[in-house]
Amino acid sequence: MADLQQIVGAILRDLAKARFSADLYSRSISRYYENDYLLRRFPVPRADVEEVELDLKFSIAGVPDSEVNHESQEANAAVLFERSVERLVATFLDIARARNESDEAFRETWWTYLTKGTNSSALRIEMRQKVLRYFIESYTHLIDDEGRFNAALALQELERPIRWAMEPYAKEAYTAPGSEAEQQMKRDLRAMVLPLMEEGDIRQAVGAMTPAIETIWQGNSDARLEIMVEGGQLSQLGEAALSSVKIKAVVRNMVWTEVKVGERTTRHALTSE
């Protein structure tokens, strides 16, 4: 018994393989065209599969449960991370803004090193990107197989992406890589950010992710569609037992091109012909 996705995938794969076989044949006969006085005046024939439409007949044999759909799981987690990061960054900047107004030492550290304030849109965007990247890259050790989210570990590590978002806006005197001034700036920013991560509102914003993640992990089962497609099997079934799906496929041609990615750097990439 095969799954519907396997059958459709095999059809699409074989279309690509058919085009590959045709190109290999064109390559072979091109040598004859090149070496023949008359044939070289003619173009080398090449098959081009622009579009194929198939009507696949099948019968559903069963719809069993399958393994957890990890792709769907990761996609849903990514949406959750994005929404949670919006709240988390907004909460952090609200707290930092209040500290700037009430805590002279905090305010002095901020403005000693940074060129952007807590109301900066650029800083907010940079912070969202850094924190979101942290969750996407670290979720495998933040969430176990049962969907339990380690909020304590996240709180412990979030200082880094938040500080990394601030460092691009450091004043020029503290930006020389590896200098003592840069190292001191990093230490002082870390000491400034860490107490904010202990605030109740920050803990609440991170902790709110726990039940949502557990729901995603536990409620993310999937189903397979087992089908029969052999003619002998289908001929024994009535018309009511048969289903069909129309597959319309296009074979797009790709070519290798050289793409400039830097002032002196290029790379090869596949692009549409």
78 & 207 share domain:
yes
Concatenating the DSSP letter of every residue in 132-156 gives HHHHHHHHHHHB-TT--B-HHHHHH
H/E stretch holding 15 reads helix 4-35
257 & 178 share domain:
no
88 & 146 share domain:
yes
260 & 155 share domain:
no
27 & 80 share domain:
no
The Cα–Cα gap between 74 and 89 comes to 22
**For helices 121-142 and 159-166, what crossing angle results, to 10°?**
150
- 0.75 exceeded by pTM: no
The Cα–Cα gap between 162 and 262 comes to 29
In a domain, 57, yes or no: yes
pLDDT at 91 over 70: yes
**More confident call, 244 vs 67:** 244
Q: Which pair of structure tokens corresponds to residue 89? A: 């960054």
Count of domains observed in the chain? 2
In a domain, 223, yes or no: no
Q: What is the pLDDT of residue 70?
A: 67
The Cα–Cα gap between 198 and 234 comes to 65
CA 256 to chain centre: 24
The set of residues, in sequence order, having a beta carbon less than 8 Å from that of 271 and lying 6+ positions away, is: 254, 255, 257, 259
pLDDT band at 222 (very low <50, low <70, confident <90, very high): low
158 & 258 share domain:
no
The Cα–Cα gap between 150 and 128 comes to 20
54 & 124 share domain:
no
Domain range enclosing 194: 70-218
133 & 208 share domain:
yes
In a domain, 225, yes or no: no
In a domain, 144, yes or no: yes
44 & 158 share domain:
no
164 & 187 share domain:
yes
161 & 39 share domain:
no
141 & 10 share domain:
no
H/E stretch holding 119 reads none
In a domain, 251, yes or no: yes
User: Average per-residue pLDDT in the chain?
Assistant: 90
pLDDT digit string, tens, across residues 146-204: 889 999 999 999 999 999 999 999 999 999 999 999 999 999 999 999 999 999 999 99
**More confident call, 109 vs 250:** 109
Q: What is the pLDDT of residue 69?
A: 59
Helices (H) and strands (E) in the chain, counts: 10, 8
